A and B are shown apart, each in its own frame.
Chain A
Amino acid sequence: MAELERPRLKVGYIPIIDCAAIVLADELGAYERQGLEVEIRREVSWANVRDKLALGTLDASHILAPLPLALTLGIDSVSVPMINAMTLQVNGNALTLSQSLWREMEDTAPELVGGGHAPLVARALAAVVAKRAAAGAPQIVLASVFPYSVQNYMVRLWLSSGGLDPDRDVRLTVVPPPHTVAHLSAKVIDGYCVGEPWNQRAVALGIGRIALTGPDIWRGMPEKVLGVTEAWAEKHPNTLKALIKALIEACLWLDDPANRPEAARVLSSPRYLNTPVEVLSRTLDMPDFHVFQRNAANFPWRSHADWFLAQMIRWGQVAPGIDVKATSDRVYRTDIYRAAALEMGVACPEVDRLPPGGHGEPVMPPMDAEPKQFPIRLRSGEQS
């Protein structure tokens, strides 16, 4: 085994099901088998994860798939070149709406809401939006988990598919996952897009309804990744490879259906997700809803990165002039992942990209395919 530059690591995670590989690698002894002594640390916000990675308080972390791109581009509040070393889960999030909003949609557009067809459900929401606007009623408020998150882009695309302008027709906000259920219950928000168990929890309490699952909008969407800073990766190549291998082992274990009950039991602990085991089992048992390793799930496809960057441009988070390909190539390190996967005997795609549409990702809705004008306000108000 190649010499490890840094055998003792601190690895962060946020308590959402897609942190499973990080937790299970610890529980199964996969880190030790790679010669690593890993302390896994539960974090409470993506802002903390980002700051701790930038400061070196964490060596590596479970992180939102688009966030390493935003940090490398310097468009978030902290600017630090980051890499995505592997994807940790595919699919796994859902869109929950409050029971009262759902009833309003059923009353307003009963013919649209029933079938779980994303654009039709969005059109039902559009009907409610129009009705509320005409009556002078308050705007609908929908939450995602961070500006640079799959959830944010999913909500935006979904709204667009029903003809709604996400920046004008509704109010979008960010609510941290542990607060989603309380905010929904207090009617501060009308719905949210988040990973599990936070959708199942609203359902269990009878205050929310899963209107759509992530796969209804994009089946095969990468959810969270393993993030390290580019500088850290350069300084610790063998350690990073060992870490990836340990996580691949955990992902292989997690994808075996026979292990799902044990995974639910481990994750339910107060140390990790602090959620009843039956709530976790309900979502872990859904077919193809939590994909940890199959179908090259861990491969950091550069075409995923291209898609995220297109979303950032589309929604005015970054100026359209950026070099998409160069940014994707720099951040999504297929070379590093491939080397680790090879040593594990895990098959890997030979190409770094699939052509547009190749991942089953949504294509831009035609109604507003032009990039939105870069909001001047985003930068001009800043003074140093």
Chain B
Amino acid sequence: MTKALSVLLIDDNPARAEIVEAGLSAAGYRLLARLEGTQDLTARVRELEPDVVVVSIDSPSRDTIEDMRRTTDLLPRPIALFVDRSDPATIAAAMEAGVSAYVVKGLAQDRVRPVVDVAVAHFNRYHSMREELDRARLSLVERKSVDRAKGLLMEQRGMGEEAAYKLLRKLAMDQNKRIGEVAQEIVTYAKVLKK
């Protein structure tokens, strides 16, 4: 059995980096460090000598890593070059997920691909978690708008709470909109019309 590959992770988003780090460790890789782009990456890469550097695509630090080809013997090469031209889909999937990876030493392709796969899976996992969170947050905002719109209808049209809610739902259905959107519109118009 060959030695576990060592991986350096560069990500400016600590919450995501934590998830990806856990995923890489669980898959048996040796995590050397988790860095942010504001550090002296050239010095750190030289000092840590990782086999693979995984860099989030939304971090500008890729440009720094690429320049190391010139000054060190480590020759980081992006997987975009590494994966042969017959498989642009793998690269596209990695880019889509927000992962770029660099092979620092002359590793064979089949040893590096799984590292990229694990990183891609965990980047995606993080993004779907965040999406769920956004949805929850959005509906909270929408819930607030609905409450305010209900209050306005009750106050100005003398409706009961139940009737006010039903009216909002009907307006939403008639206009093919979400109830939160309709509620927000009512709140906005009320603000404009108020003296």
A174 touches B60 (CB 8 A): no
B80 touches A54 (CB 8 A): yes
Closest B residue to A54 by beta carbon equals: B80
Number of interface residues of A (CB under 8 A): 36
Instruction: Please give, as numbers and ranges, the residues of chain A lying within 8 Å of B78 by CB-CB distance.
Output: 47, 51, 77-78
B80 touches A44 (CB 8 A): no
Q: B76 to chain A: closest CB distance in Å?
A: 8
Instruction: Please give, as numbers and ranges, the residues of chain B lying within 8 Å of A51 by CB-CB distance.
Output: 78, 80, 91, 95, 100
Bound-complex Cα distance A146 to B71 (A):
13
A55 touches B88 (CB 8 A): yes
Task: Tell me which residues from 69 to 103 in chain B have a Cβ below 8 Å from any Cβ of chain A.
Answer: 69-71, 73, 75, 77-78, 80-81, 88, 91-92, 95, 100
B75 touches A381 (CB 8 A): yes
* Neighbour of A179 across the interface among B60, B69, B77, B81, CB < 8 A: B60
B62 touches A48 (CB 8 A): yes
Closest B residue to A172 by beta carbon equals: B71
Closest B residue to A187 by beta carbon equals: B40
B37 touches A378 (CB 8 A): no
Instruction: Please give, as numbers and ranges, the residues of chain A lying within 8 Å of B42 by CB-CB distance.
Output: 173
The answer to whether residues A77 and B60 also contact, given A47-B100, A381-B106 and a CB cut-off of 8 A, is no
The answer to whether residues A46 and B77 also contact, given A51-B95, A173-B42 and a CB cut-off of 8 A, is no
B75 touches A382 (CB 8 A): yes
Task: Tell me which residues from 172 to 223 in chain A have a Cβ below 8 Å from any Cβ of chain B.
Answer: 172-179, 182-183, 186, 188
B64 touches A77 (CB 8 A): no
A52 at the interface (CB under 8 A from B): yes
A147 at the interface (CB under 8 A from B): yes
B38 at the interface (CB under 8 A from A): yes
Instruction: Please give, as numbers and ranges, the residues of chain B lying within 8 Å of A182 by CB-CB distance.
Output: 38
Of listed B42, B63, B69, B77, residue having the most chain A CB within 10 A: B63
Bound-complex Cα distance A381 to B81 (A):
15
Q: Given contacts A48-B100, A174-B66, A382-B75, could you give 19 more A-B pairs where the C-beta distance is less than 8 Å?
A: A45-B57, A45-B59, A46-B63, A47-B100, A52-B95, A55-B88, A55-B91, A57-B95, A78-B78, A146-B66, A147-B70, A176-B64, A178-B60, A179-B38, A188-B39, A188-B40, A378-B69, A381-B75, A384-B106
A-to-B contact residues, CB < 8 Å: 44-48, 51-52, 54-55, 57, 76-79, 145-147, 171-179, 182-183, 186, 188, 377-378, 381-384
